[in-house]
Structures are given as structure tokens and as C-alpha cells.
A and B are shown apart, each in its own frame.
Chain A
């Protein structure tokens, strides 16, 4: 395991009106790790992911990714730099097939623009084949080959969650952020998630995991950050977190 920090967040702050959703949170994610963010409901986990991916503008603080400051970048630029994510509440493209959804994930790897697409120039045709291939591979990787031709709109929640993972992977991210991938999954699906996350990590992708399922978090994480009411409560390896009195109190009391 190497010790390079792929992402460094310093003194992040985000307020919504009077609500302090994230207050002065700093942390670093090491390359190749599975870095988990846990905390009770409303602790600010999703808000933090939204800040890292540019979906929310941060009020103050800095975020460095691979050495470059991305604090003020719009989401598409951050995505193109190699951070991709899934959503707690799903952001599936409902009017598309499963394959098309994942093909959108390959957007950053393509180059053809509006004009060449209109005339379907040879490069578009070639790129289309390549993108299709990448998307099929990403679906395969997530064990979703059987759903390729299905319309996204008709599929159950558990499938959609994994399709979002496939879509994110299709972009070849260096950092993949998963917002509660196990929420709403049945036991069998949750069991399948664990090897999938390990497999993703083994391909060299750094994983940021927001999750309530403690069994999963403790099993797969290299480092854990605990948030409570928008502040950092604790940070450490799974064993340290499990023994931390503040964490135990927050979970039992919260």
C-alpha cells in the first residue's frame, strides 16, 4: 500500500440557511484505499460528497485532488479529472436503456462533438462501437450483463443502484464515491456488494464509501471517518472506530 494522498480536504464548511451541515471538516484519502464515511442520519455525509463532486458550492475550505485544487470546479470538470460517484436517491436516466445509461458514463472518454455527431462522421461511428464495448464491460464487471437491453424505468431499486455503480465505473474514475450503495438492497444483494467493492479496489480505484451497514463498512474499509452533526467525531481504522467511546455514544444516543 502506498502513502500518497489522492484527496485532501481542509476545513470544509457548508451551511444551509441557519443549518450547519458541514462544519470545519478535514481529512485525507489515501490512494488505493477504501475510505468510509459514517455517521447518524443527517450527519452531513451526502452533503460532504456533494461538496467533493462540485454539486454543492463549498462555503469555505479547500479540496485538492491529485495535487490540484478543485474547490471551485463545476461538477463536470471534477468528473473529467477522475472523481465519479453514485447517488443515495439515484440519478438514473429514466428514458434510456440500461446500456445507454452506462454509455453516458463513458462520456469523458469520447471526443466526438455536436457537428460530427449530426453528420455521423466515421470517427463517431468508430467511437460509438468503442463506447458500447466499454459500457458492456462495465456492466459485466458489476454482474449486470442480463439487464443490458432493459429499459431503466422498469427495473427494481436494487438493480438501479448497481447500474449507477456500473455507470460510474464506465468513466474509469480514479476515485469512486458511493453514497449508501447497500440502502434498499435485500440481504443477497448486500452480500454481493462486498466482493464488488473489493474487486473495484483491486483494480486500483480508490473508493469513498458512505454507508450505514456497519458489517460492510468494518469488513471492507481501510480508514473510517465518523461525522456527527456536521463535525468530525473520529477518524481511524475500523478497529479503532469500533472501540471509540464517542462513536459508540453517538450511535447509541443518536
Chain B
């Protein structure tokens, strides 16, 4: 129940922020990007932080969603929502077919396999230019419509991204408090123990792989309409690594940690613009420092630090 209270506070804050910071470029532009990343980080965290698996192809599934909407709406003039469903279907099929063979692997091998898959999908975006228009990308993606309402403008997209983030957070919190969520955590802590408790670990891991790939795909579908233009470089390996950095920095296995990590790493470049070419270096340093000093993640580390202080203060009062 404590979790639910935190969720409502979080959702409310997200939705009223634009009323407090009116016309804030930082909030509606950087903030929206951060929230899209948060959606990706939350879904990746379900697979990695909670289930204890590794994926370096999350950005590629994001890309499949984005390309699906870009291609189907511009080349074939499909309705955006139909295109989104098509994207979910394509991502779902690819991840479903590959899940079992890939997830037989563990640790480094799993990382390598997903890395390979991510690279292959990215190469497809770049090379299949009769479909994807190659490295130049696809422009002229139409606006998203809710009936007759046009979704456009930074502020509107901030709300769209907020709603998706709130939705993903809600799904994840629900899952973790359930039989299936506990089974995922059990797989993380020890597959033998999980199997002997009656959990079909191969199937569950595959299901979660498909689920989180589709969550990434949905976010990608929306992104295509927000940007109006997409190109392969938004979905490359580097972005998968950045997503991984977000969930590690936030704290593997913490949903709010993923949010924190996404917002932190997305807004960081705004503050680090002075470093220019050294941005990746600073990213790396932050990652290393986090691993050394707060291996459980910045968000989890910091919140433990503060609850520790609070507890001490309360004890003194007594």
C-alpha cells in the first residue's frame, strides 16, 4: 500500500508540473524525451532488474515500433493506431520467435546474443532503404489523432509521455505484487529454486522478453508521431547501452529508480553541454562511480541514505 501512495503522488506531480513551470522549454522538450526514456527504462528493468536477464537490443525494439508507424503511415497511408498495432505485432512476433533460443543463454552469452540481435535490426534500418529509406530516415510522419483531436505541440506531448510513463509504472507495480512478479524475482534469485517451486522458468522468461519488447515498441510508435521524422541512429547500440546505464544508475530492480535514472541521464547533457565531445566520458565516469560507491544504484542509495538519517533523527527525539 505504501507503494500505491508513492504511485499516486508521483502521477499527480508529473501531471501538474506543467502548471507550475508554465511554458518551460526544459520541461516540455527535455522532460518529454526523459519520459520516453523512462518508459523504455522501466520496461527494460522488468526484464533485467527484476528477472535478472540481460538485454542489449531494447533500443532496436523501440526502433521497430517507430519504423512501423513511420513506414505504414507514410508509404501505405495507414491509420497511426493501426500502424501501432502492426508494430506491436511485428515486435511481438520477432521477440516471440527468438525468445526461447536466446534465453537459453545466460550472463555474458545472453548479452552477446541480444547485442547481435540489436545490431542486426539496426543494420536493417540502415540498409533496407526501399522500406526504411536508409540512413536518411523517414520524414513527414503525420500527427497522431484521437478522433478529431490532433496531438501536436510540446505541451501536449509532455502529457502523452506522462500518461504512458504513469501507465507503465502502474503495470510494473501491479506485476511485482503478484504471483507472476514474485516468480520473476525468484528466477532472478535462483533458477533452480524457482523451478522446484513449480515455475516454468523458460516460458516465463520468454513471456517477459516479449512483453518488454512490446512495451518498447509501443513507446517507439508514439515517438515517430511526436518527432515527425525518424532515422536509424536513434535506435542504435549506443542507445541500448544508455538505457542500460539508466537502470543501473537508478538501481536494478527499482521502478522509481529507473525513472530517476532516465530523467537524470537525459537531462545531464543539458548541464554537461560544456563537455561537448567528452559527454560519453562523463557518462562512463558516472557509471563507474555509481558501481563503486552505490552499487545498488543512485536512487536506491540516496533514498536509503535519507531514510537512514530520518531514522536517526526520530531515534534522537525519543
Contacts and interface: CB of A to CB of B under 8 A. Distances in A.
Interface of B is mostly: helix
A104 B194 contact: yes
Contact of A103 (B182, B199, B253): B182
Interface string B278-295: 000000000000000000
A80 B195 CA distance: 10
A104 B181 CA distance: 10
B192 A107 contact: no
B189 interface: yes
A171 interface: yes
A2 interface: no
A59 interface: no
Given A53-B196, A74-B195, A107-B197, A119 B171 contact: yes
Interface in A79-127: 79-80, 84-85, 87, 91-96, 100, 103-108, 110, 112-114, 117-120, 124, 127
B188 interface: yes
B223 interface: no
Contacts of A85: 196
Interface stretch (B21-29, B105-113, B200-208): B200-208
Nearest to A167: B197
Interface in B167-183: 171, 174-175, 177-183
A105 B181 CA distance: 13
A80 B207 CA distance: 20
Chain A CB within 10 A, most for which of B181, B182, B198, B204: B198
B253 A76 contact: no
B211 interface: yes
Contacts of A75: 192, 195-196
Contacts of B188: 95
Interface in B66-102: none
Nearest to A111: B179
Given A76-B201, A118-B171, A128-B178, A104 B186 contact: yes
A43 B238 CA distance: 52
A80 B196 CA distance: 9
Contact of A96 (B175, B178, B185): B185
Contact of B197 (A95, A104, A117, A120): A104
Looking at chain B, what size class is its interface with the partner chain? 20 to 34
A95 B195 contact: no
B189 A95 contact: yes
B153 interface: no
A104 B200 contact: no
Given A75-B195, A118-B174, A95 B185 contact: yes
A250 interface: no
Contacts of A84: 196-197
Nearest to B178: A117
Of A92, A93, A94, chain B has the most CB atoms within 10 Å of the CB of A93
B6 to A, nearest CB: 16
Given A80-B198, A107-B179, A108-B198, A93 B185 contact: yes
B178 A91 contact: no
Contacts of B171: 118-119
Nearest to B195: A75
B197 A171 contact: yes
Given A53-B196, A114-B207, A171-B197, A107 B185 contact: no
A131 interface: yes
A105 B207 CA distance: 21
B179 A79 contact: no
Given A95-B188, A104-B183, A79 B196 contact: yes
B193 interface: yes
Contacts of A113: 180
Contacts of B185: 93, 95-96, 100
A148 interface: no
Nearest to A85: B196
B236 to A, nearest CB: 29
A127 B180 CA distance: 11
B179 A110 contact: yes
A76 B196 CA distance: 6
Interface of B: 171, 174-175, 177-183, 185-186, 188-190, 192-201, 204, 207-208, 211, 253
10 contacts: A92-B190, A93-B193, A96-B185, A103-B179, A106-B179, A107-B182, A108-B197, A118-B174, A120-B178, A124-B179
Interface of A: 53-55, 74-76, 79-80, 84-85, 87, 91-96, 100, 103-108, 110, 112-114, 117-120, 124, 127-128, 131, 167, 171
Given A95-B189, A96-B185, 14 more contacts: A79-B196, A79-B197, A92-B189, A92-B190, A103-B179, A103-B182, A104-B182, A104-B197, A112-B178, A112-B179, A114-B180, A114-B204, A117-B180, A124-B179
Q: For the complex of A and B, list the 5 residue pairs with the smallest distance between their C-beta atoms, beginning with the closest.
A: A91-B193, A117-B178, A108-B198, A75-B195, A93-B189
